[in-house]
Chain A
Amino acid sequence: MKFDMINIYASLPEIIVIVSACALLIIDLFLKKEQKRLVAYLSLAVVIIAAGETWRIAGNPLLVFDKMFIVDNYAIFFKMLFYLATFLAILLSINYIKIEEIEHSEYYILMLFALSGMMLMASGADLLTIYLGLELMALPIYMLVGFMKKDIKSNEASMKYIVLGALSSGILLYGISLIYGLTGTTQLSELAAVLKKQTDIDSAVILSTIFLVAGFGFKVAAVPFHMWAPDAYEGAPTSITAFMSVGSKAAAFAVFLRVLLDALSPVSLNWIALISAISVVTMILGSVVALVQTNIKRMLAYSSIGHAGYALLGFVAGGSDGIASVMLYMLIYAFMNMGIFGAIIIMRKGGIVGDNIEDYTGLAKVHRGIALLMLIFLFSLAGIPPTAGFVGKFYIFMALIHKGFIALAVIAALTAAISAYFYIRIIMLMYMKEPLHKFDLAQTPATRIALAIAAAGTIIIGILPAWFIELVQKAVFS
C-alpha cells in the first residue's frame, strides 16, 4: 500500500484529539496548582475543534488505511454524539472533581483518550481496528472509574470493571479469531461478501457470532453480561458515570450495529433469536431490579441496562429503519442521561452526597428550576410524551411492528410501564413531600450550560422529532 495523504485527511479528528491529549499532558507540567483548571477549558476547546474538523470532512464516504478505517455519515453521526457526551461530561466535572478532591489534569486527558477510542470504534471498518478502539476507550475509563483512590467503593468498582472487562475482551477476541480462521478476513464488508457466498453456514460461524455478541453485550451492559454495571456506576465519580453510561455505551452500540447488521447480516437468522432473548431479559431485569434500589446511581445503572434492552430491539427489527431507530435512541439517551446525572452532580456539595433517592425529598419546594429539569429528564427516561424519550421508544416500537415482531413490542411496552414507576417515584418525592433537610446545590455557570443543553435536546427532539428522524435516516450505513 502506498501511503496517501487521504489517510491523514480522513483521520484528522482522531489525530487532533490524540495529539492534543499528549500536548495537554506536557502543558500540565508547567501549570501551577491553581491554574490546573485551564486543562479543562483546553479540553473543551479540543472537543470543539475536533467536532468542527469532523463536520468539515463529512460528505463522501472515505475508506482508508487499507480498508480499516471508514468515514461515512454513520461514523460522523456517532462521533458528534461522542463529542456531545464528552463536552457535557467535562462541563459537569469542573466543579464536581474539585468537591471530591480529585482535581488532577490527567482526569481530562484520560477522558480525551477515551474519546479517541470511541471515535476509532465508530470509524472501524475492520474487526482489528474495532477491537483496538474498544481497548483504547476502555483503559482510560477503567482508570477514571477508580479515580477516587481513597474511596473504597471507587476502588472496588474499578477492580471489578477491569477484571470483567479483560474477560470480555478475551471472549470477543476468541470470536474474532474464529471468524478470521473461517473467512480469512477481518474487514467487515469483505466478511459480509464471504459469508453471503457460503450456502451452508458453518457451525463455527454461529459459535463466533455468540462470542461476538457476548463481548459486545458486555460493553453495552446487556443481561446476562451486566454484572459490572451497577457497581461500576455507583462507585465511579458521578461525572464519569455520566460519561461512560452515555459515551461508551453509544460507542459499543455503534460497533455492535456495524458488526451485526453489516458484516454478519448474511447470517442474521442465527443471531436474531439470540438478540431478541437478550433484549427481553435485559428489559425485564433492568426495570424490575431498579424498582427496589435506594441509591439513585444504582437505580440509574439498572435503568441504563433497561435502555440497552430497548435499543437491542432495533437490531431485531433490522434494516435501515432498525439501524436508524437505534441511532436516534442513542442520541436521545445521551441528552436525557447526561441531564439526569448533571442534576445528581450538582446535589453533591459538602454534607449531602445526593446518592440516596430520599435526598431529593421536597426539592421542588426549594429549587423549582432544578426540580423542573429533573422532571423533564425523568419523564423522558420513562418515555412519557412530549419528551424525547417517548419519540425514541415509539420509533423503535414502530420499526418492530412493521417487521411483524408484535410480541416483542408488547413486552417492551409493558416493561416501559413498569419502569415508569421508579422514575415517577422520584418526581413524587420531589413535588409532594416537604423537604427533610436544607438543600445546598453546587451550581456553577458550567453546570448550568450543561443542564441547559441537555434539557434543550430532550425537549426539542420531543417536540420536533421529524428533523432528527430525517437526520438519522441519512446517516444509516448501507
Chain B
Amino acid sequence: MVVEDKFYNLIFAIFILQFREHDMEKLFFLTFAAIAVISALAVVSVRNPVHSAIALIVCLFQVAAVFILLRSPFLAAVQVFIYVGAVMVLFLFVIMMLDIKRAVITSFLPSGRFWIIALLLLLIGEIVFTLADSKLVDIQMAQASLDGTVMEIGKAMFSTYLLPFEIVSVILLVALMAAIVMGRKEIK
C-alpha cells in the first residue's frame, strides 16, 4: 500500500532517523513543531499563570525557529523581539501586578476530559493518515535567497499584499479600540 509506505517513511524520518536528502530539515521542523505543540498544551494546562507565560515563551521561540527553517531570518528576529521580548514581558508584568490569588489558580481542563482527549486523538489520527497519503509530505521547499529579505518583505507588503496589509492595520485599530471600550470605567 502506497499510503502505508508514505506513513512509515514519515514515522521513520521522525524516530529512526532515516536520513536522506532534506530529511534533516524535516527532522528539525518536526522537532520544533513538537516542542511548540507541547509547550502550547502546557500554556493552557499548568496551574500557575507564570508557568503558563513561560511555556508561551518557549512556544513562540519554536515559531521563530520555524521561520529560520523557512529562510526568513528577519521574521524570526521580529518574532523574538516583539513576541518573546515585548509582549511576553508585558504578560508577566501584568500577571505580577494582578497578584492572582491561589483560588484562581486552577487547571483549565474541564471535567469531561476523557471525551475531549478521545476526540482530539481521533482528529490527530485523521490528519496524520490523510497527510501521509498526500504528496504534501514530499514537497520540497523552494530555495530562497537570503539576500535582502527585509527589502523583499517591504516590497511585497506594499505592492502585491497591499490590501491585506491595510486590512490588518484596520483590524489592529479595532482591536485597540475594543480593548479600550472593554477596559474603561463607566462615566456617569
Q: Do A and B come from one complex?
A: yes
Binding site for B on A (CB under 8 A): 1, 3, 7, 11, 18, 22, 25, 65-66, 68-69, 104, 106, 109-110, 113, 116, 120, 128-129, 132-133, 135-136, 139-140, 142-143, 146-147, 149-150, 178, 181-182, 202-204, 206-207
Q: Which A residues are CB-close (under 8 A) to B134? A: 182, 202-204, 207
Q: Look across to chain B and name the residue whose beta carbon is closest to the beta carbon of A102.
A: B186
Q: A129 to B159, alpha carbons, bound, how many Å?
A: 14
Q: Look across to chain B and name the residue whose beta carbon is closest to the beta carbon of A146.
A: B182
Q: Which A residues are CB-close (under 8 A) to B160? A: 1, 66
B116-137 at interface with A (beta carbon < 8 Å)? 126-127, 130-131, 133-136
Q: Is the CB of B167 within 8 A of A110?
A: no
Q: Is the CB of B170 within 8 A of A116?
A: yes
Q: Does B162 interact with chain A (Cβ within 8 Å)? A: yes
B157-188 at interface with A (beta carbon < 8 Å)? 159-164, 167-168, 170-171, 173-175, 177-178, 181-182, 186
27 contacts between A and B (CB under 8 A): A3-B159, A3-B162, A7-B162, A18-B170, A65-B162, A66-B161, A68-B164, A110-B174, A110-B181, A113-B174, A129-B164, A132-B167, A139-B174, A140-B178, A142-B178, A143-B181, A143-B182, A149-B182, A150-B186, A181-B136, A202-B134, A202-B136, A203-B130, A203-B133, A203-B134, A204-B135, A207-B134
Q: Is the CB of B177 within 8 A of A207?
A: no
Q: Which A residues are CB-close (under 8 A) to B182? A: 143, 146, 149
Q: Is the CB of A140 within 8 A of B136?
A: no
B86-129 at interface with A (beta carbon < 8 Å)? 126-127
Q: A207 to B160, alpha carbons, bound, how many Å?
A: 28
Q: Look across to chain B and name the residue whose beta carbon is closest to the beta carbon of A101.
A: B186
Q: Is the CB of A206 within 8 A of B130?
A: yes
Q: Is the CB of A136 within 8 A of B181?
A: no
Q: Which B residues are CB-close (under 8 A) to A18? A: 170
Q: A234 to B172, alpha carbons, bound, how many Å?
A: 28
Q: Is the CB of A139 within 8 A of B171?
A: yes
Separation in Å of the B175 CB from the closest CB of chain A?
Answer: 6
Separation in Å of the B127 CB from the closest CB of chain A?
Answer: 7
Q: Which B residues are CB-close (under 8 A) to A106? A: 177, 181
Q: Which A residues are CB-close (under 8 A) to B139? A: 181
Apart from the given pairs A1-B160, A120-B167, 8 other A-B contacts in the complex at a CB distance below 8 Å: A66-B159, A106-B181, A110-B174, A132-B171, A139-B174, A202-B135, A204-B133, A204-B135
Q: Look across to chain A and name the residue whose beta carbon is closest to the beta carbon of B134.
A: A204
Q: A135 to B171, alpha carbons, bound, how many Å?
A: 7
Q: Which B residues are CB-close (under 8 A) to A66? A: 159-163
Q: Which B residues are CB-close (under 8 A) to A207? A: 126-127, 130-131, 134
Q: A11 to B177, alpha carbons, bound, how many Å?
A: 24
Q: A476 to B64, alpha carbons, bound, how many Å?
A: 44
Separation in Å of the B120 CB from the closest CB of chain A?
Answer: 12
Q: Which A residues are CB-close (under 8 A) to B177? A: 25, 106, 109-110
Separation in Å of the A211 CB from the closest CB of chain B?
Answer: 9
Q: Is the CB of A128 within 8 A of B130?
A: no
Q: Look across to chain B and name the residue whose beta carbon is closest to the beta carbon of A207.
A: B130
Separation in Å of the B130 CB from the closest CB of chain A?
Answer: 4
Q: Look across to chain B and name the residue whose beta carbon is closest to the beta carbon of A1.
A: B159
Binding site for A on B (CB under 8 A): 126-127, 130-131, 133-136, 139, 159-164, 167-168, 170-171, 173-175, 177-178, 181-182, 186
Q: A182 to B138, alpha carbons, bound, how many Å?
A: 11
Separation in Å of the B174 CB from the closest CB of chain A?
Answer: 5
Q: Which B residues are CB-close (under 8 A) to A120? A: 167
Task: Among A116, A129, A146, A181, point to the contact of B163 (Cβ < 8 A).
Answer: A129
Q: Is the CB of B131 within 8 A of A136?
A: no
Using known A-B contacts A136-B174, A203-B130, determine if residue A149 contacts B167 with beta carbons closer than 8 Å: no
Separation in Å of the B157 CB from the closest CB of chain A?
Answer: 12
Separation in Å of the A415 CB from the closest CB of chain B?
Answer: 27
Q: A181 to B141, alpha carbons, bound, how many Å?
A: 10
Q: A150 to B127, alpha carbons, bound, how many Å?
A: 43
Q: Is the CB of B164 within 8 A of A132?
A: yes
Separation in Å of the A26 CB from the closest CB of chain B?
Answer: 12
Separation in Å of the A339 CB from the closest CB of chain B?
Answer: 29
Using known A-B contacts A65-B163, A203-B130, determine if residue A132 contacts B168 with beta carbons closer than 8 Å: yes
Q: Is the CB of A110 within 8 A of B178?
A: yes
Q: A128 to B182, alpha carbons, bound, how many Å?
A: 28
Using known A-B contacts A104-B181, A139-B174, A149-B182, determine if residue A204 contacts B136 with beta carbons closer than 8 Å: yes
Q: A389 to B124, alpha carbons, bound, how many Å?
A: 42
Q: Give the 9 A-B residue pairs with the shortest CB-CB distance, closest first.
A: A204-B134, A143-B178, A65-B163, A203-B133, A132-B167, A207-B130, A203-B130, A1-B159, A204-B136
Separation in Å of the A106 CB from the closest CB of chain B?
Answer: 5
Q: Is the CB of B175 within 8 A of A68?
A: no
Q: A289 to B135, alpha carbons, bound, how many Å?
A: 43
Q: A120 to B170, alpha carbons, bound, how many Å?
A: 12
Separation in Å of the B28 CB from the closest CB of chain A?
Answer: 18
Separation in Å of the B107 CB from the closest CB of chain A?
Answer: 16
Q: A84 to B182, alpha carbons, bound, how many Å?
A: 28
Separation in Å of the A134 CB from the closest CB of chain B?
Answer: 10
Q: A3 to B161, alpha carbons, bound, how many Å?
A: 12
Q: Look across to chain A and name the residue whose beta carbon is closest to the beta carbon of B175.
A: A139
Q: Which B residues are CB-close (under 8 A) to A116? A: 170
Q: Which A residues are CB-close (under 8 A) to B159? A: 1, 3, 66
Of the listed residues B127, B162, B170, the one surrounded by the most CB atoms of chain A closer than 10 A to its CB is B170
Task: Among A128, A136, A143, point to the contact of B171 (Cβ < 8 A).
Answer: A136
Q: Is the CB of B173 within 8 A of A22?
A: yes
Task: Among A129, A142, A146, A204, point to the contact of B130 (Cβ < 8 A).
Answer: A204
Q: Which A residues are CB-close (under 8 A) to B131? A: 203-204, 207
Q: Is the CB of B136 within 8 A of A133?
A: no
Q: Is the CB of A136 within 8 A of B170?
A: yes
Separation in Å of the A72 CB from the closest CB of chain B?
Answer: 16
Q: Which A residues are CB-close (under 8 A) to B175? A: 139
Q: A66 to B167, alpha carbons, bound, how many Å?
A: 15
Q: Which B residues are CB-close (under 8 A) to A136? A: 167, 170-171, 174
